Chain A
Amino acid sequence: MTIASGRSTAPYLDLYARRGGEPEVLRARRQEAIERFEAAGFPTGRDEEWRQTNLGSLLRAAPAAASRRPLQGGEAARFLYPDCPRMVFVNGRYAPEISSPPRQITAVALAEPGAGGDTEAVLEHLGAHASGRASCSADAGVHPFAALNTGLFEDGAAIVIPDGAVVEQPLQVLWLNAPAAPAAESGGDTPAVEVSFPRLLVIAGENSQASVIETFAAVDPKAGGYFVCPVSEFVCGAGSVLHHTRLQADATDAFHLGFQHAQLERSASFDSSSLAFGGGLVRNDTVGLLDGEGSHCTLDGLYVIDGSQFVDNHMRVEHRQPHTTSHQLYKGVLDGRARSVFNGRIYVHQAAQKTDAKQTNRNLLLSKSALANSNPQLEIFADDVRCTHGSTIGRLDEEALFYLRSRGIEREQAHAMLVYAFARELVEKASHEPLRQDLESRLLASLNGGGPR
């Protein structure tokens, strides 16, 4: 097999060969995943699922294992919510000195020996859902980056919520990136990227309730040149209620290719919000499997991007059982030369009668050079269902602007007010007050960065 130059999987396979210690029992699963990755190779523009995602700049860069770097005092503090129990990972490795995991549930680092990361429940599920294997319908294919993560992750968080437990405080998992200064690797033109593979597994026991906040951030927002390739798996037991917020605030020239997978048992509810502000090349693949009767899943998202940022959200919700419901609401604010892709697919199996699925994508273009792509898709094999999708792309309403101006509000301010009004629905959703305030200030900051055009 010939591989076009720059698309070779070899450097990543080399990382696999050179990886350090790993939880012993995972070896077989990892081997299987890396083989699948090798067989699939990197996707190209010819793959329908990756048609609009140009990986060129990432694949031209030479991958290097993430450096080990101790945190300077207080570097992580501004990303943490003070009253939340937390687990902090720096460059994909656990930093116990600044973490304070909760006591009443199991929340452990996978690589920490003897911490409980090798309990039966964890091993049963870890990599079993999102190993990159076609975990849903046959045509979903292999997700190469999920397979790569399964093959290469060094550390991660496993959270097990016992049956019936109700956890009041959200648990924060902070994935902090602090790449070493790009000095050493000056051999040739190929830029080097430090790669980290965050891994999260959440197992919600029967009738349990919890919320998890994932934060992806860079210590220095200007120091990009890193590649973060996270995988999160959520296993929602019967009757469980799991809230998930995913705040992505990476450096503006970082690569972020993530994969999330939620599996829902009977009457389980999974509610996820994904908020993307950072990253240069960002792609998120989210899979929701409604595997139990009466289960419900909400996948919402907001992306506020500028400059030459690119954000691609791929969603796949599978209704496999009757009486399942799903909602998706994605909103985008695009400025500069930013580009976004929304690709949501609702797949209703023949057994899933009485499905109620709704999918909405709204995009606001603030500049002449921004580009929004929206592909909401329905595949339906059952007849007694209600499925709708909607998509809009447009700019700010001139009349609304005029209304505000006529009441003496400055143009810039009126502009910011309207954009804020467009996006706030997704920020207000956050029920944890410090989180909501954080999201709000990030949204406002990104609006004040530019003015009206």
Chain B
Amino acid sequence: MPTAADTIGALAERDYEYGFVTDVEQDTAPPGLSEEIIAFISAKKNEPQWLLDWRLQAYRGWLKMVEPTWANVRYEPIDYQSICYYAAPKSDDDRPKSLDEIDPEILATYEKLGIPLREQEMLAGVAVDAVFDSVSVATTFREKLAELGVIFCSFSEAVQDHPELVRKYLGTVVPRRDNFFAALNSAVFSDGSFVYIPKGVRCPMELSTYFRINAMNTGQFERTLIIAEEGSYVSYLEGCTAPMRDENQLHAAVVELIAHEDAQIKYSTVQNWYPGDKEGVGGIYNFVTKRGLCEGRRSKISWTQVETGSAVTWKYPSCILRGDDSVGEFYSVAVSNNRQQADTGTKMIHVGKRTSSTIISKGISAGEGQNTYRGSVRILRSAEDARNFSQCDSMLIGDRCGAHTFPYIDVANPSAQMEHEASTSKIGEDQIFYCNQRGIDTEDAVSMIVNGFCKEVFRELPMEFAVEAQKLLEVSLEGSVG
């Protein structure tokens, strides 16, 4: 039987499984950021004047901001002038009408990633808006959704086809000067997804976008906007992997969710960007602003995330519970191995009466990874009978990693009930021994225990995602038991 140390050795050697670069011609803007570049991006995408103005105002605001340093992460300073802010596959001018017209090399990329579009179309019943770098190249099931009045398209298409909706909602949840990275995104966002669910419609399938960072030196600045009208329901999946490369890539996405009366939005993420090699070289910087607004009464927003990738993660999916009786949920599994750093958590802002929120966060640190939970629960004076339950558990694997918890709890209404619990533990030798005794090898035992630790979160994931998430966790962690 291999000893734990052997297993660690073997698995630490394991390379990033999804690392490869596909050569596709890029139509790329020169590196650097200026008003000209923003005008170039905007012109390239044939945007109306108001959107250009909006971008420019965000840019001017960004110039006056300083990069935040409060997060518990360390990284080399980013040179914002050396980044390309626009890259689109050449085939942009004549967009493919069906999968057959898509560049076979791109299709092969998806094949390698295990996202066979055709199969998904047929088997999983999932509509995929696949983002290859910054421009959507394939969208499926659009007609079926259109019958119900559901709009699911790329952000640029939405700007062309539904400008009134975009103009009404863009920046209402995450204002363009909300924070440094959100302002940067507002200035240069390239593309993303747009979802609109009309009144009373229950979206019949899980909507899904696969993100993929590919071109050298291009940051990805996704912008996602999901609007759920009264009484509607939508479940949205976001998943990503990235090819192996050496220079740090910046990713600053913004996601805005708006749930009207009785609407429900379920947003799930599996994030597996390149985390850098064993020495921490390369890897994605992931600075994401995600926020949902429970606008109407009895609305509900639920965030579920499985974060296994990226060198540096800075991400706080939040809920503003404005409508009375609205509900916010946050389920998270964050894994940091080798030299990964994750500073993630949530903000729950209770405004309306009888609002409730649940936070379940599981952090796993291995190798020299640093994992931080940073969350804020704010119960305002108006939030009568608000309720919050938070639980943050950390698991340490190995003696050189760190687990940190920084909850901020501000309660200004005595009728509120809030509870916060956190614990830190490791995988006990006795637990491993117990499994070994019963013929389960150390590696499977660890995998089993970790999966059990994360069960509460995985349960929230749609089925396909839950499977992928468990697989990712195994790849990221197996054998790192100390």
A residues contacting B by CB (< 8 A) are 48, 350, 353, 363, 365-395
B408 at the binding interface (Cβ < 8 Å): yes
Which listed residue (A367, A372, A382, A383) contacts B411, Cβ 8 A? Answer: A372
Per the bound structure, the CA–CA distance linking A391 and B407 in Å amounts to 10
Residues of A within 8 A of B381 (CB): 368-369
Q: Distance in Å from the Cβ of A191 to the closest Cβ of chain B?
A: 29
Residues of A within 8 A of B379 (CB): 393
Query: Given known contacts A374-B420, A376-B422, A378-B422, is B405 in contact with A389 (CB within 8 Å)?
Result: yes
26 residue pairs from A and B, CB less than 8 Å apart: A48-B70, A353-B399, A363-B411, A365-B411, A368-B381, A371-B411, A373-B410, A373-B411, A374-B407, A375-B407, A375-B409, A376-B420, A378-B404, A380-B396, A380-B402, A382-B396, A383-B398, A383-B401, A383-B426, A386-B424, A387-B423, A388-B422, A389-B421, A390-B422, A393-B379, A393-B418
Per the bound structure, the CA–CA distance linking A370 and B412 in Å amounts to 6
Which listed residue (B70, B400, B406, B408) contacts A350, Cβ 8 A? Answer: B400
B401 touches A391 (CB 8 A): no
CB closest chain-B residue, reference A357: B424
Interface residues of B in 412-432 (CB under 8 A from A): 412-426
B426 touches A389 (CB 8 A): no
Residues of A within 8 A of B425 (CB): 386
Which listed residue (B397, B417, B424) contacts A388, Cβ 8 A? Answer: B424
Q: Distance in Å from the Cβ of B347 to the closest Cβ of chain A?
A: 14
Q: Distance in Å from the Cβ of B339 to the closest Cβ of chain A?
A: 14
B403 at the binding interface (Cβ < 8 Å): yes
Residues of B within 8 A of A366 (CB): 414
Query: Given known contacts A380-B396, A383-B397, is B421 in contact with A388 (CB within 8 Å)?
Result: yes
CB closest chain-A residue, reference B405: A378
Per the bound structure, the CA–CA distance linking A303 and B422 in Å amounts to 23
CB closest chain-A residue, reference B70: A48
Residues of A within 8 A of B482 (CB): 383
B249 at the binding interface (Cβ < 8 Å): no
Residues of A within 8 A of B421 (CB): 388-390
Residues of B within 8 A of A368 (CB): 381, 413-414
A367 touches B414 (CB 8 A): yes
B42 at the binding interface (Cβ < 8 Å): no
Max count, chain A CB within 10 A of own CB: residue among B394, B400, B411: B411
Which listed residue (A384, A390, A395) contacts B399, Cβ 8 A? Answer: A384
Per the bound structure, the CA–CA distance linking A368 and B410 in Å amounts to 14
A379 touches B412 (CB 8 A): no
Q: Distance in Å from the Cβ of B362 to the closest Cβ of chain A?
A: 14
Q: Distance in Å from the Cβ of A267 to the closest Cβ of chain B?
A: 24
B399 touches A377 (CB 8 A): no
A380 touches B403 (CB 8 A): yes
Q: Distance in Å from the Cβ of B455 to the closest Cβ of chain A?
A: 20
B419 touches A391 (CB 8 A): yes
CB closest chain-B residue, reference A390: B421
Per the bound structure, the CA–CA distance linking A309 and B241 in Å amounts to 52
Q: Distance in Å from the Cβ of A270 to the closest Cβ of chain B?
A: 23
Q: Distance in Å from the Cβ of A279 to the closest Cβ of chain B?
A: 21
Q: Which 7 A-B residue pairings sit nearest by Cβ, starting from the closest? A: A365-B414, A383-B396, A393-B411, A395-B414, A374-B409, A378-B405, A391-B420
Query: Given known contacts A380-B402, A380-B424, is B409 in contact with A373 (CB within 8 Å)?
Result: yes
Q: Interface 1/0s, chain B 204-243, versus A by CB < 8 A?
A: 0000000000000000000000000000000000000000
A377 touches B414 (CB 8 A): no
Q: Distance in Å from the Cβ of A381 to the closest Cβ of chain B?
A: 5
Q: Distance in Å from the Cβ of B414 to the closest Cβ of chain A?
A: 4
CB closest chain-A residue, reference B404: A379
Residues of A within 8 A of B396 (CB): 380, 382-383, 385
Which listed residue (A377, A384, A390, A395) contacts B406, Cβ 8 A? Answer: A377
Q: Distance in Å from the Cβ of B423 to the closest Cβ of chain A?
A: 5
Residues of A within 8 A of B420 (CB): 374, 376, 389-392
Per the bound structure, the CA–CA distance linking A72 and B283 in Å amounts to 72
Residues of A within 8 A of B407 (CB): 374-377, 391
A394 touches B398 (CB 8 A): no
CB closest chain-A residue, reference B423: A388
Residues of B within 8 A of A391 (CB): 407, 409, 418-420
Per the bound structure, the CA–CA distance linking A379 and B407 in Å amounts to 12
Query: Given known contacts A48-B70, A378-B424, A394-B418, is B410 in contact with A350 (CB within 8 Å)?
Result: no
B404 touches A380 (CB 8 A): yes
Given contacts A378-B403, A381-B401, A393-B379, 4 further A-B contacts (CB under 8 A): A374-B409, A387-B423, A393-B409, A394-B414
CB closest chain-A residue, reference B371: A380
Per the bound structure, the CA–CA distance linking A388 and B424 in Å amounts to 6
CB closest chain-B residue, reference A378: B405
B409 touches A394 (CB 8 A): no
Residues of B within 8 A of A392 (CB): 417-420
A371 touches B399 (CB 8 A): no
Per the bound structure, the CA–CA distance linking A26 and B22 in Å amounts to 69
CB closest chain-A residue, reference B379: A393
CB closest chain-B residue, reference A384: B426
CB closest chain-A residue, reference B378: A373
CB closest chain-B residue, reference A358: B423
Q: Distance in Å from the Cβ of B49 to the closest Cβ of chain A?
A: 38
Residues of B within 8 A of A384 (CB): 399, 426
Per the bound structure, the CA–CA distance linking A392 and B418 in Å amounts to 5
Per the bound structure, the CA–CA distance linking A382 and B397 in Å amounts to 9
CB closest chain-B residue, reference A397: B417
B399 touches A383 (CB 8 A): yes
Q: Distance in Å from the Cβ of A82 to the closest Cβ of chain B?
A: 40
Residues of B within 8 A of A376 (CB): 405, 407, 420, 422
B414 touches A370 (CB 8 A): yes
Per the bound structure, the CA–CA distance linking A379 and B363 in Å amounts to 13
CB closest chain-B residue, reference A395: B414
Residues of B within 8 A of A390 (CB): 419-422
A381 touches B405 (CB 8 A): no
B408 touches A389 (CB 8 A): no
Per the bound structure, the CA–CA distance linking A232 and B396 in Å amounts to 36
CB closest chain-A residue, reference B412: A371
B411 touches A377 (CB 8 A): no
CB closest chain-B residue, reference A376: B407
CB closest chain-A residue, reference B394: A380
Per the bound structure, the CA–CA distance linking A394 and B419 in Å amounts to 9
Residues of A within 8 A of B414 (CB): 365-368, 370, 394-395
Q: Distance in Å from the Cβ of B427 to the closest Cβ of chain A?
A: 9
Per the bound structure, the CA–CA distance linking A372 and B420 in Å amounts to 14
CB closest chain-A residue, reference B410: A373
Q: Distance in Å from the Cβ of B367 to the closest Cβ of chain A?
A: 11
CB closest chain-B residue, reference A365: B414
Per the bound structure, the CA–CA distance linking A191 and B322 in Å amounts to 42
Query: Given known contacts A383-B399, A391-B419, A394-B416, is B409 in contact with A377 (CB within 8 Å)?
Result: no
Residues of A within 8 A of B405 (CB): 376-378, 389
Per the bound structure, the CA–CA distance linking A395 and B379 in Å amounts to 14
Q: Distance in Å from the Cβ of A314 to the closest Cβ of chain B?
A: 14
CB closest chain-A residue, reference B366: A383
Residues of A within 8 A of B423 (CB): 386-388
CB closest chain-A residue, reference B384: A368
Q: Distance in Å from the Cβ of B74 to the closest Cβ of chain A?
A: 12
Per the bound structure, the CA–CA distance linking A375 and B409 in Å amounts to 6
Residues of A within 8 A of B406 (CB): 375, 377
Q: Distance in Å from the Cβ of A378 to the closest Cβ of chain B?
A: 4
Query: Given known contacts A381-B402, A394-B418, is B424 in contact with A387 (CB within 8 Å)?
Result: yes
Residues of B within 8 A of A374 (CB): 407, 409-411, 420
Residues of A within 8 A of B418 (CB): 391-394
Residues of A within 8 A of B415 (CB): 395
CB closest chain-B residue, reference A374: B409
Residues of A within 8 A of B409 (CB): 372-375, 391, 393
Per the bound structure, the CA–CA distance linking A395 and B417 in Å amounts to 7
Q: Distance in Å from the Cβ of A390 to the closest Cβ of chain B?
A: 5
Q: Interface 1/0s, chain B 440-471, versus A by CB < 8 A?
A: 00000000000000000000000000000000
CB closest chain-A residue, reference B422: A389
Per the bound structure, the CA–CA distance linking A314 and B379 in Å amounts to 22
Residues of B within 8 A of A365 (CB): 411, 413-414, 416
